Structure 1
Amino acid sequence: MSNIEALARANVRALTPYQSARRLGGNGDVWLNANEYPLAVPFDLSQQTLNRYPECQPKALIARYAAYAGLSTEQVLVSRGADEGIELLIRAFCEPGKDAVLFCPPTYGMYSVSAETFGVEYRTVNARENWQLNLDAIAEKLDGVKVIYVCSPNNPTGNLVSRDDLRQLLEMTRDKALVVADEAYIEFCPDATLTGWLAEYPHLVVLRTLSKAFALAGLRCGFTLASAEVIALLMKVIAPYPLSTPVADIATQALSEQGLTLMKQHVSEIIATREWLVDALRQCACVETVFPSQTNYLLVRFTAASEVFKSLWDRGIILRDQNKQQGLSGCLRISVGTREESERLIAALKTLPGTSVSMEQA
């Protein structure tokens, strides 16, 4: 071990970093591995005040997101993606070496990485076979838990978590822990949002992002929605200037009336392509199961997932391997790209051994 490495915290030396789609790389031209919107959305910068520090919480941006979410401005915090929101909650509410966070695999990998980074214990309660919450098992592990993360729709499975289960979870955690509903994909099923429950449950927190339906993954802009009391605590630990001026500028434009209309058009297009892709995949001989999805991606179980993944990778079609996730053996996650990209994916699958379905059938 080098002297420099020896200086690092023990938990950081032992940490396995989150393997984002960009870290994993690839030389593809059909990128279906990061749940991004497949086409660029043009914006023009209107702010030319880069010589000045930005507002910590840009008023115009906060006001627009509050209006969009149906909340007051005191209930909204903007950060560098929802990932920063995940970390801020741990920093503000969890004592390292004392408190814990809890989540239910298979789910988003940053919950564990964020906890480990801050020296906070994380506990897992595996989801049931239908990827719903195991409430009895959660209840047994709540002692010392300060934050519970529930991704709904869940990444990478694509399913919504039962509202009845979420309500039971909120009831059992009153005055004990925060329940954080990660709604990164909620624009694809807006009626499922829990923002309407914030008044009833002061320990509920909702995470949002502009990375998915708003087609702004490169912007790194997310939101934490919660009671004014929770937001005030997070403001104590957030960076002095979390959003650059250009980010705040573009995000504010994206939340204009015109921007929201464009987002909804994109969502409709993605859902239509998703339904076409579901039908096409189900007719491929190498596909065992296409799981229902309320998102811009599909979880698919293949008869020979590793071979399918590598074959597509070699052809420049990059998917996300989920084989190592709890209960997801043989599964790959496929982002919904353009119709052309989806057709190229199906055409490539047709050439693999045992896949003989025609494009006309698909």
Structure 2
Amino acid sequence: MEKLARQQVQKLTPYLSARRIGGSGDVWLNANESPFDNTYQLNLSGLNRYPSCQPEGMLSAYAAYAGVQPEQVLTTRGADEGIELIIRAFCEPNEDAILYCPPTYGMYAISAETIGVARKVVPLTSDWQLDLPAIEANLDGVKVVFVCSPNNPTGNLVAREDIVALLELTKDRAIVVMDEAYIDFCPQASTVDLLEQYEHLAILRTLSKAFALAGLRCGYTLANAELIQVLLKVIAPYPVPYPVSEIAQQALSESGLARMKYQALEINTNRAYLQAGLSAIPGVTVFDGWGNYLLVEFPDGDALFQAAWDNGMILRNSPIENCVRISAGNREECEKTLAFIRRFYQ
């Protein structure tokens, strides 16, 4: 079957998600999931009918939370579908390119490669900020620029003035996609207020992280109405199952939002606990993080990652040398992981 696949697909290396990598243990801090397992009520009648492509209740609820109008919201199967839709809608295969800035989320490149769209790579600077002169020099043929803030896996925020400068650079040239999958842990850093000024800005959001709904596969794209209408041309006809719509609206209700904010605060507290404890270990460097995870540099990151794996603590190795990404779980998971790492370096 392999030889029957498109050549582009034959050469493709799939994204190694946490679940594909696997592992066996009782502490899972590798996928930036929430440690909270919330419950919801479901009405499962009407499953014999197709759902609405874009349920009004979902759009209105998220629009109210994000501070935009419902016509500025598109709901998708996770933010990953939003990435793919934007590339499909704005890039001609074998003609246009996307641009992204590693180290960053791997699905931008894989989605483009799957569709047959070229990839231009402009690495982040040494302090993991945008290299604006290099981006400007590489914009020819680029239709979409992806920026992740808080960035995965580094955890840092991209400087707002650089985001504005990028938006100015790309006017009438390319779509700028701000990936805000982790913005609920630092809502003050959102770029949603820039939508009013920049018609070529799109923002990716998700319920997977702070809302503790990774298994729901529910994401949102925020943009101006004209851009949303373009994406509606290429989205699947029935992307939102009834149960997804029901649960999402409960999560976005007044009580649901209150619970999310409380849980996000607790996760941020546990992240700070991990950061303080790990920073006290000689030879270990912990980078400031604004999502629900930390990037940590060890004297030998691969050895630490493997030792933790062998002891049932599943972390995430990183493309950055000697660095391991550690999700902020519940306090018990954080304490157990910190104690293991302390013993490892004694």
Q: TM range, normalised to the smaller chain?
A: over 0.9
Secondary structure at the aligned position of 1:170 is classed as: helix
1:279 is aligned with what amino acid? A
Equivalents in 2 of 1:350, 1:62: separation in Å? 46
Equivalents in 2 of 1:113, 1:222: separation in Å? 18
Shift of 1:47: 4.6
1:50 pairs with one of 47, 51, 55: 47
Residue matched to 1:347: 339
2:115 is aligned with what amino acid? F
**For the Cα contact (< 8 Å) 1:32–1:318, is it kept in 2?**
yes
Question: Is 2:24 the counterpart of 1:32?
Answer: no
Structure 2: 5+ residue stretches without partners = none
Residue matched to 1:124: 121
Equivalents in 1 of 2:342, 2:91: separation in Å? 50
Question: Is 2:93 the counterpart of 1:99?
Answer: no
**For the Cα contact (< 8 Å) 2:65–2:252, is it kept in 1?**
yes
Equivalents in 1 of 2:300, 2:123: separation in Å? 25
1:1-362 matched pairs, under 5 angstroms: 4-285=1-282, 287-322=283-318, 325=319, 328-352=320-344, 354-355=345-346
Cα deviation, 1:161-219, whole Å, max 9, x if unaligned, reads 00000000000100000000000000111011111110100000000000000000000
Query: CA-atom RMSD, angstroms?
Result: 0.8
Equivalents in 2 of 1:71, 1:282: separation in Å? 39
**For the Cα contact (< 8 Å) 1:47–1:249, is it kept in 2?**
no
Structure 1: 5+ residue stretches without partners = 356-362
Equivalents in 2 of 1:152, 1:307: separation in Å? 29
Shift of 1:39: 2.3
Shift of 1:284: 2.1
Secondary structure at the aligned position of 2:284 is classed as: strand
Equivalents in 2 of 1:169, 1:20: separation in Å? 29
Secondary structure at the aligned position of 1:205 is classed as: strand
Equivalents in 2 of 1:28, 1:218: separation in Å? 19
Secondary structure at the aligned position of 2:233 is classed as: helix
Equivalents in 2 of 1:33, 1:216: separation in Å? 16
2:340 is aligned with what amino acid? A
1:304 is aligned with what amino acid? D
Runs of 4+ in 1 over 3 A off after TM superposition: none
Secondary structure at the aligned position of 1:198 is classed as: helix
Secondary structure at the aligned position of 1:351 is classed as: helix
Secondary structure at the aligned position of 1:237 is classed as: coil
**For the Cα contact (< 8 Å) 1:80–1:243, is it kept in 2?**
yes
- Paired residues, what number? 346
Secondary structure at the aligned position of 1:306 is classed as: helix
**For the Cα contact (< 8 Å) 2:278–2:284, is it kept in 1?**
no
2:304 is aligned with what amino acid? V
Residue matched to 1:359: none
Shift of 1:350: 2.3
Residue matched to 1:360: none
Q: Which moved more, 1:92-101 or 1:342-351?
A: 342-351
Equivalents in 1 of 2:267, 2:31: separation in Å? 14
Cα deviation, 1:34-53, whole Å, max 9, x if unaligned, reads 00001211111135211111
1:162 is aligned with what amino acid? A
Cα deviation, 1:251-274, whole Å, max 9, x if unaligned, reads 111000000000000011011111
Equivalents in 1 of 2:216, 2:307: separation in Å? 32
Equivalents in 2 of 1:276, 1:5: separation in Å? 48
Equivalents in 2 of 1:65, 1:292: separation in Å? 29
Cα deviation, 1:27-83, whole Å, max 9, x if unaligned, reads 011000000001211111135211111110011010100111111111000000000
**For the Cα contact (< 8 Å) 2:178–2:203, is it kept in 1?**
yes
Equivalents in 1 of 2:203, 2:224: separation in Å? 10
Equivalents in 2 of 1:346, 1:207: separation in Å? 32
- Between the aligned residues of both structures, percent identity stands at 58
**For the Cα contact (< 8 Å) 1:104–1:126, is it kept in 2?**
yes
Equivalents in 2 of 1:101, 1:346: separation in Å? 39
TM-score, structure 1 as length reference = 0.94
Equivalents in 1 of 2:96, 2:107: separation in Å? 18
Shift of 1:282: 1.1
